[in-house]
A and B are shown apart, each in its own frame.
Chain A
Amino acid sequence: MEQAVQLKPEAASALLSVENVRAGYGEMDILHGVHLHVRENEIVCVIGPNGAGKSTLMKSIFGLVNIREGRIVFRGEDITALPPVQIVRRGMCYVPQTANVFPSLTVEENLEMGAFIRDRGVREKMEEMFELFPILKERRRQKAGTMSGGQQQMVAMARALMLDPALLLLDEPTAGLSPKFAEMVLEKVTEINRRGVSILMIEQNARAGLEISHRGYVLTTGRNRLDDTGRALLENEEVGRLFLGG
């Protein structure tokens, strides 16, 4: 009870708030009443063991999973169960964990697809992305499917940034990447955030994720376990034991 009361004023001023969401696939519930919020200019990281419902949480925010209870509010507007096209138009973009590029399209075409609903300024935005990810400029005519995992992750992030989103959802951006590339991707996340984009991300490397985040949430079996500032969670004994390896 106490926590719910405490949350309200914060949630009201939040860019995104997930309120008591119960959701899942088919008959089965994966999330059993999850809450979370992201404020302007924040990086928020969600950590938790496999099967905690982290990816499901992202998909339900983005209208890809059946929400049975609760609601998603973005910029003061209820967007619960809106189709992805509508959510994108409202300024939220999403990078799925896997299959997040169009493999047979070139880098340039991938970025163009990210800006599909945008009518002008696509060139300028693309140049901005090439400045943020110089490797993509070099490989602009290469098919995304032939690039390395780390480079594909950059294509995926650049694609999602083409619409100038207010909020970017990243589902495990460093999954399967070598430590060098993982570090680079997280550096880019910080840089994107400095350019004024709020970020909600899932990170399987809890330490690295929390280190660059303002706040974090710990999810277990579809429920909120803990939430605090990134620093506080890093120092939390329980988090340390469960997710940070000792």
Chain B
Amino acid sequence: MVKQLIVYGLIYGGIISLGAIGLTLIFRILRFGHFAHGDMMTLGAYLALFFKATAGWPMWAAALASLVITPMAAVLIDRLLYKPLRRTTPAILLIASVGMALFLRHLVQFIWGAQVQVYNPGIERPLLIWGVRIRPSQIWIIVMAVVLVFLVWVFLQKTKFGKAMRAMADNMDLAAVSGIDTERMITWTWVLGAVLAAAAGIMLGIDTQLRPVMGWIMLLPLFAATILGGVGNPYGAIAGGMIIGMSPELSTKYITTAYKPPGALVRVVLLLPVRAQGLFGAKGA
């Protein structure tokens, strides 16, 4: 039973982690909570649905197309909405992103409808591995999440752009005086954030179903993971995502499932008085 819950937690945690990596980097580099991040996941999920169901592409190709188009949309949104507001206060950017979240959600609903949809109609027979019931598509989700997290690690740790992204999250002003082209790196931050958000959205769609509100309701766990991991720390976001994803599943063993969703918030509230900088955040940062 516990093994089963761990597998569910791994899937849910992986999805949260992927969304939270972008959220935490944007939070630190652009200095605002990006409330449209969940709806960017929704957009990514539905773009894949378009290529899968409407265009009839195989699932992997549809997912890939979404991973290409979603970041383009994110960069466009940044240029049109966020960039002109960048010299104002974070509160204005935050409110603008709430507006963008509503816009994206209703755009999705307008195009694809409010009804629940799935990538693959029909029933998938679960496999039994080491006493754990798992659907083949869920295995794919776990594999993809691990691969993506590994690729993010390679990008942030080994490439010049990835290091510059971490440098910007550390100290934006110093990055600028070092000669890092911060505007260009901000574009790359959006690309990274949106690719991962789209991937998370697609995984969520594969694991459950697609609904226009699917991303919006992920915002609470996303922010919880970001804060838990220390704002601005992508590795913290991954750990935070896994904790936030795992614990509600495991908590159902001890408390009734009705209390599962607010669990993430409770954990953040319990943590903050002890470590206001998050689990992995630097003090005073």
8 Å CB contacts to B: which residues of A126-152? 145
What are 15 contact pairs spanning A and B, CB under 8 A?
Answer: A88-B177, A88-B178, A89-B179, A96-B173, A101-B171, A102-B166, A103-B282, A105-B163, A105-B166, A112-B160, A113-B175, A113-B180, A114-B178, A114-B179, A117-B180
Query: B269 at the A/B interface (Cβ < 8 Å)?
Result: no
Residue in A85, A94, A104, A112 whose CB lies within 8 Å of B181: A85
B223-265 to A contact mask, C-beta < 8 Å, 1/0: 0000000000100000000000000000000000000000000
Q: How far is the CA of A105 from the CA of B167 in the complex (A)?
A: 7
Sorted nearest first, the 3 A-B pairs with minimum C-beta distance are A88-B179, A102-B170, A117-B179
Whole-angstrom CA separation of A116 from B173 in the bound complex: 15
CB distance from A65 to the nearest CB of B (A): 12
Contact B282 A85 (CB under 8 A): no
Does residue B164 face the partner (Cβ distance < 8 Å to A)? Answer: yes
**Residue contact A116 to B178, C-beta cutoff 8 Å:** yes
* Contact surface of B with A, Cβ cutoff 8 Å: 160, 163-164, 166-167, 169-171, 173-182, 233, 282, 285
In the bound assembly, the distance between CA atoms of A116 and B163 in angstroms comes to 10
- Judging by beta carbons under 8 Å apart, are A112 and B177 in contact? no
Contacting B at CB under 8 A, from A149-167, are: 159-160, 163
Tell me which residues across on chain A come within 8 A of B233, comparing CB atoms. 104
Given known contacts A105-B167, A112-B160, A117-B179, what 17 new A-B pairs fall within 8 Å (CB)? A64-B177, A84-B176, A84-B179, A85-B180, A93-B177, A96-B177, A102-B170, A102-B174, A103-B170, A112-B163, A113-B164, A113-B175, A116-B164, A116-B178, A117-B181, A145-B282, A159-B178
Q: Which residues of A contact B173 (CB under 8 A)?
A: 64, 96, 99
A104 near B177: Cβ-Cβ < 8 Å:
no
CB neighbours (8 Å) of B282 from chain A are 103-104, 145
Q: What distance in Å separates the Cβ of A107 from its nearest Cβ neighbour in chain B?
A: 13
Q: How many A-B residue pairs have CB under 8 A?
A: 72
Decide if A102 touches B177 in the complex (CB within 8 Å): no
B178 to chain A: which residues have CB within 8 Å? 88, 113-114, 116, 159-160
CA separation between A83 and B178, bound complex, in Å?
A: 11
Residue of B163, B167, B171 touching A99 (CB-CB under 8 A): B171
**Does A109 sit within 8 A of B, measured CB to CB?**
yes
Complex interface: chain B residues within 8 A of A217 (CB): none
Residues B179 and A100 in contact, CB atoms below 8 Å apart: no
Task: Please name all residues of chain A whose beta carbon is closer than 8 Å to the beta carbon of B285 when the two chains form the complex.
Answer: 103
Query: Across the interface, which residues of A come within 8 angstroms of B160, CB to CB?
Result: 112, 116
Most buried by B among A62, A93, A104: A104
Bound form: Cα–Cα A100–B173 in Å: 9
Please give, as numbers and ranges, the residues of chain B lying within 8 Å of A112 by CB-CB distance: 160, 163
Give the shortest distance, in Å, between B234 (CB) and chain A (any CB): 10
Which one of B164, B167, B179 lies within 8 Å of A85 (CB-CB)? B179
Residues of A within 8 A of B163 (CB): 105, 109, 112-113
What residues of chain A have their CB less than 8 Å away from a CB belonging to chain B? 62, 64, 83-85, 88-89, 93-94, 96, 99-105, 109, 112-114, 116-117, 145, 159-160, 163
Give the shortest distance, in Å, between B23 (CB) and chain A (any CB). Answer: 18
**B170 and A105 contacting across the interface, CB-CB below 8 Å:** yes
How long is the Cα–Cα vector from A117 to B178 in the complex, in angstroms? 9
Expressed in whole angstroms, the minimum distance between the Cβ of B160 and any Cβ of chain A is: 7
Measured CB to CB, the closest approach of chain B to A53, in angstroms, equals 19
Q: Kindly identify which residue among A85, A99, A163 contacts B174, using a CB–CB cutoff of 8 Å.
A: A99
Are A163 and B177 within 8 A (Cβ)? no
Distance from B169 Cβ to chain A, minimum over Cβ atoms (Å): 8
**Chain B residues whose C-beta falls within 8 Å of the C-beta of A100 in the assembled complex:** 174
Residues from chain B with a CB closer than 8 A to the CB of A117 are: 179-181
Question: Which residue of chain A has the shortest Cβ distance to B280 in the bound complex?
Answer: A104
* Residues of chain B with a CB closer than 8 A to A114's CB: 178-179
Contact between chains at B171 and A85 (CB < 8 Å): no
Q: How far is it, in angstroms, between the C-alpha of A109 and the C-alpha of B168 when the chains are bound?
A: 12
Bound-state Cα–Cα, A163 to B178, Å: 9
Shortest CB distance A115–B (Å): 8
Do A102 and B179 touch (CB < 8 A)? no
Docked CA distance A159–B175 (Å): 11
Residues of B within 8 A of A84 (CB): 176-177, 179
Q: From A100, which residue of chain B is reached at the shortest CB distance?
A: B174
Q: Which residues of B contact A89 (CB under 8 A)?
A: 179
CA gap between A109 and B166 in the complex, in Å: 10
**A119 nearest in chain B by CB position:** B160
Q: Which residues of B contact A83 (CB under 8 A)?
A: 176
Query: Shortest beta-carbon distance, B32 to chain A, in Å?
Result: 21
A79 to B233, CA, bound (A): 36
A109 to B173, CA, bound (A): 17
Residues on A with C-beta less than 8 A from B171 are 99, 101-103
Which residues of B sit under 8 angstroms from A96, Cβ to Cβ? 173-174, 177
In the bound assembly, the distance between CA atoms of A109 and B164 in angstroms comes to: 9
Bound complex: CA of A145 vs CA of B283, how far in Å?
A: 11
